[in-house]
């Protein structure tokens, strides 16, 4: 009885073993058929790049603005430490693609560094400044790195007829925070300097994103044009014969009066010498 029991157990064990092996084989096959995950390529976009320099030509930072899926990602990294002072610095997009030292603003006035870049970039219908970017926080060693993203502007906004430029300012931006103590001409509100820079101070470094292709509004260009007109004689036409009326030529006639010849009669003068006989006693003169 005991032997019979072992035989039955062995007989039952064989199909179980086959079932287990079959299950392993199916598991291995399923593992082999697993598809590796695929990674979709990152969407490509347009990028604007520039190098920001001081008025005397020193390199301050490199900036890339990449446009992907209606967003702009701004990446700034300083190239030389020690030019920017530690702390926050205003970082703006300006409305004219010019970076000219000692230049005049589009509206006129006294010259200054990078003033020809105009004011902050505004949106359609002069909407609030879309060119106000996240400030740069400069470390104690004078270096900085900034990565920020925004949907306030598009690449077409930066590539308009007047172009655009990036600007780093001397101090931080007030972000339109105008305290009640601010007055201009006795009226509460920002003055011209606050409107122009956001109280960020002078312009330290500038880089053109898209060059200006037209003259900024308010700027008058004067040019002297000298035109030289060449006088070309008309081509010769057919010969023209002009009939002149006959000319009467009068030859003066010189009239010579006839010469009157007077013939004088020949006058013969006869001289008769009378000889007086010598007186008696006188001698005749010798001939």
pLDDT digits (tens, 9 = 90+) for 151-192: 999 999 999 999 999 999 998 877 655 555 566 666 665 555
Is residue 222 situated within a structural domain?
no
The closest of 112, 132, 111 to 121, measured between CA atoms, is: 132
In the structure encoding, which two tokens stand for residue 52, read together?
């920001």
Per-residue CA distances from 6 to 3, 14, 263 (Å) = 5, 13, 210
The closest of 159, 113, 167 to 135, measured between CA atoms, is: 167
Is residue 194 situated within a structural domain?
yes
- Looking up residue 62, the CATH number of its domain turns out to be 2.60.40.200
Is residue 29 situated within a structural domain?
no
The Cα–Cα gap between 8 and 11 comes to 5
Is residue 269 situated within a structural domain?
no
Is residue 39 situated within a structural domain?
no
Is residue 65 situated within a structural domain?
yes
Highest mean pLDDT among 29-33, 83-87, 189-193: 83-87
Residue range 40-69: average pLDDT?
Answer: 88
pLDDT greater at residue 80 or residue 215: 80
Report the number of distinct structural domains present in the chain: 1
What range does the domain containing 187 cover?
A: 46-210
Is residue 149 situated within a structural domain?
yes
Is residue 7 situated within a structural domain?
no
Highest mean pLDDT among 6-15, 18-27, 58-67: 58-67
CB atoms within 10 A of CB 50: 20
């Amino acid at each position: 009885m005991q032997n019979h029991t072992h035989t039955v157990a062995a007989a039952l064990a064989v199909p179980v073993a086959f079932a287990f092996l079959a299950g392993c084989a199916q598991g291995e096959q399923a593992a082999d058929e697993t598809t590796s995950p695929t990674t979709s390529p990152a969407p490509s976009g347009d990028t604007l790049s520039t190098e920001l320099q001081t008025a005397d030509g020193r390199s301050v930072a490199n900036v890339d603005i990449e446009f992907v899926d209606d967003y702009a990602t701004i990446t700034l990294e300083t190239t030389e430490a020690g030019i920017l002072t530690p702390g926050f610095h205003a970082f703006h997009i300006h409305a004219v693609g010019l970076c000219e030292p000692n230049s005049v603003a589009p509206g006129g006035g006294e010259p200054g560094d990078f003033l020809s870049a105009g004011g902050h970039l505004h949106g359609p219908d002069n909407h609030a400044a879309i060119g106000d970017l996240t400030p740069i926080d400069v470390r104690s060693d004078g270096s900085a790195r900034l990565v920020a993203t925004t949907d306030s502007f598009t690449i077409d906004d930066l590539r308009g007829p007047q172009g655009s430029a990036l600007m780093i300012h001397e101090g931080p931006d007030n972000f339109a925070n105008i305290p009640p103590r601010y007055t201009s001409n006795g009226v509460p509100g920002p003055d011209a300097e606050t409107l122009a820079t956001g109280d960020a101070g002078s312009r330290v470094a500038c880089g053109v994103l898209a060059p200006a292709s037209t003259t900024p509004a308010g700027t008058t260009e004067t040019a002297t044009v000298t035109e030289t007109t060449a006088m070309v004689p008309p081509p010769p036409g057919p010969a023209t014969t002009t009939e002149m009326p006959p000319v009467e030529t009068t030859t003066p006639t010189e009239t010579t009066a006839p010469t009157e010849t007077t013939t004088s009669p020949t006058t013969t003068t006869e001289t008769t010498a009378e000889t007086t006989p010598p007186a008696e006693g006188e001698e005749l003169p010798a001939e």
